[in-house]
Amino acid sequence: MSVDRSLSPALEHPALCRLLQQAYSAERAACFAYIGHAGSLRDAEEIARIQEIEQDEWDHRKHVHEIMGEYGVPISRWLEMKFFLIGKVIGFSCYLIGRFMPYFFAGKLESGNVCEYFVMIRYFHELGITKHDPTLFEMGVKEKEHEVYFQTVIEDEKWLPWFERIFRWGADTSQNDVELENLKEVFESEGYCPGRGRSSA
């Protein structure tokens, strides 16, 4: 396997290194987006819930950074800058696009993020490493909880059927196969998100 040593001298899995770097930077973008989302809302309970989700994302960024540090995976300055701008733009746009769209696109984003952490589990297993399974599993499940929350909030919105058709996410559509009511055990979680992250090249 060809290894990009600039990614990590210790973790010989370029795809895993890139995924860790992306997750680390994207979590901050999500936090910035949720700061704007919460600021655009008026309902105190909704604001509190979005702020809880924001804190979850800060926690995820911390955990990912700890894993990166263990293997010498560097922070990508490019991804940090890219996702900083994305997060700030999304956060600002929440004040302009009404109530429905921030919830919808947050849910779609979280739906995709669920698989990132289960793919990381699979990649680590390719290296014979299982000690991060509980942390990565917990983060993946937490992202699923976020997705379900957003689905619940907008399930009765009149625009949802149209957006669901266009963007392939909504009340009855998800980008992952995780079910909170029927969770696999941690040791079985490599089976989630089949077809994603099967190659370490």
Binned average pLDDT, 10 residues per bin, the chain of 201 residues: 50 94 97 98 97 98 97 96 97 96 96 95 95 97 97 95 94 92 92 73 39
- pTM here is 0.90
Q: Are the C-beta atoms of 107 and 154 separated by less than 8 Å?
A: yes
pLDDT attached to residue 2? 39
How far is residue 28's CA from residue 36's CA, in Å, rounded to a whole number? 13
pLDDT attached to residue 198? 56
pLDDT attached to residue 1? 36
14-191 sits in which CATH class?
mainly alpha
pLDDT attached to residue 127? 95
pLDDT attached to residue 12? 87
pLDDT attached to residue 5? 42
Three-class DSSP labels, 132-174? CHHHHHHHHHHHHHHHHHHHHHHCCCCCHHHHHHHHCCECCEC
How far is residue 109's CA from residue 27's CA, in Å, rounded to a whole number? 11
pLDDT attached to residue 172? 86
